[in-house]
Amino acid sequence: MTVRVLVVDDQAAVRSALRLVLDAEPGFEVVGEAANGADAVHAARLQRPDIVVIDIRMPRKDGIAAIRELTDPAAPHRPTVVAMTTFDLDEYVFGALQAGAVGFVLKDAEPRLLVEAVRAAASGHGVIDPKVAPRLARRFAALSPRPAGPALARLTAREREVLTEIARGRSNAEIAEALWIEEGTAKTHVARILAKLGLRTRVHAVIYAYEHGLAPREGG
């Protein structure tokens, strides 16, 4: 199966570089380009890509606003989004993930990381650039918990435990070991958590856990 990718950046040279990297990867096809957030939303509706790789800082409509529109559940086509930027500012990383991106990569990262992020996104997973992950975790930890909503109430006690382990960054195998359950059972719990909370990936589950006070705090 070919993964269809739309690349979005206001610099033509960057778009060309992204196209070269991704088109060279087996199973990837760059089906279009856009130079700003507004054009990205329009192109996504026309080209119907599986993945959108999008810059944050752009004219007309910035990347975060575009991500929010691209991932809106009511959108006629809802691609998976990987955000990227030259600037590893907390508000960019956090804003992109809250808006609906499943991954975040800095532009100066090795091409391998971009490929890994796109491939992970196509598989329903998220990749966060290692350079920003520690600061992102600290930003999460500083959040004031939101009140529990009806979706959270649908989680079982075991699913809450699994969600806390997801927020620790643990894999299914590590969750299984920590909670003394089978890896397949852990995988099933993760899938049910995402479905019940209306989340797309584990990255969004981490954000949700921190926003609702279900994540381990420093020293916990």
Do 105 and 174 lie in one domain? The reply is no
How far, rounded to the nearest angstrom, does the alpha carbon of residue 186 sit from its chain's CA centroid? 21
Q: Between vectors from CA 49 to CA 130 and to CA 14, what angle results, nearest 5°?
A: 55
Residue 201 lies in a domain: yes
Over 50: is that where the pLDDT of 220 sits? no
C-alpha–C-alpha distance, residues 61 and 14, integer Å: 18
Residue that finishes a domain, picked among 84, 117, 138:
138
CB-based contact 116:127 (threshold 8 Å) = yes
Instruction: Determine what percent of the chain is predicted with pLDDT higher than 90.
Output: 50
- Which secondary-structure segment (H or E) carries 7? strand 3-8
Sign of the Cα torsion 34, 35, 37, 42 reads negative
Provide the 10 A C-beta neighbour count for residue 87. Answer: 11
36: which 2 tokens? 């700003």
Residue 220 lies in a domain: no
Do 116 and 9 lie in one domain? The reply is yes
Q: For 68, phi and psi rounded to 5 degrees? A: -60, -40
Across 46-50, 92-96, 108-112, 140-144, least confident range? 140-144
Residue that finishes a domain, picked among 80, 112, 138:
138
Range of the domain at 130: 3-138
CB-based contact 5:53 (threshold 8 Å) = yes
Can you tell me the mean pLDDT for 149-156? 86
Over 60: is that where the pLDDT of 219 sits? no
Domains held by the chain: number: 2
pLDDT digits over 156-214, tens only?
Answer: 999 999 998 888 778 788 899 999 999 999 999 999 999 999 887 777 788 788 778 77
Q: State the average pLDDT for the chain.
A: 87
pLDDT digits over 119-129, tens only?
Answer: 988 987 777 77
Ramachandran area for residue 182 (φ above 0: left; ψ -120 to 50: alpha; else beta): beta
Over 80: is that where the pLDDT of 216 sits? no
CATH number at residue 189: 1.10.10.10
Do 108 and 154 lie in one domain? The reply is no
Across 59-63, 144-148, 180-184, least confident range? 144-148
86 HSE (CA, 13 A, CB side): 6
In which band, very low, low, confident or very high, does the pLDDT at 141 lie, cut at 50, 70 and 90? Answer: low
Do 161 and 114 lie in one domain? The reply is no
Can you tell me the mean pLDDT for 57-62? 88
Residue 34 lies in a domain: yes
Do 132 and 185 lie in one domain? The reply is no
C-alpha–C-alpha distance, residues 81 and 37, integer Å: 12
Do 130 and 154 lie in one domain? The reply is no
Do 88 and 39 lie in one domain? The reply is yes
Residue that finishes a domain, picked among 138, 156, 190:
138
CATH number at residue 40: 3.40.50.2300
pLDDT digits over 109-121, tens only?
Answer: 889 989 999 998 8
Do 93 and 39 lie in one domain? The reply is yes
Do 94 and 161 lie in one domain? The reply is no
Residue 217 lies in a domain: no
Do 134 and 153 lie in one domain? The reply is no
Res 66: pLDDT:
95
Do 120 and 157 lie in one domain? The reply is no
CB-based contact 7:29 (threshold 8 Å) = no
Range from 9-18, 82-91, 200-209 that averages highest in pLDDT: 9-18
Q: What is the pTM of this model?
A: 0.74
DSSP SS3 for 123: coil
C-alpha–C-alpha distance, residues 16 and 9, integer Å: 10
The DSSP annotation for 57-90 comes to: S-SSS-HHHHHHHHT-TTSSS--EEEEEES---H
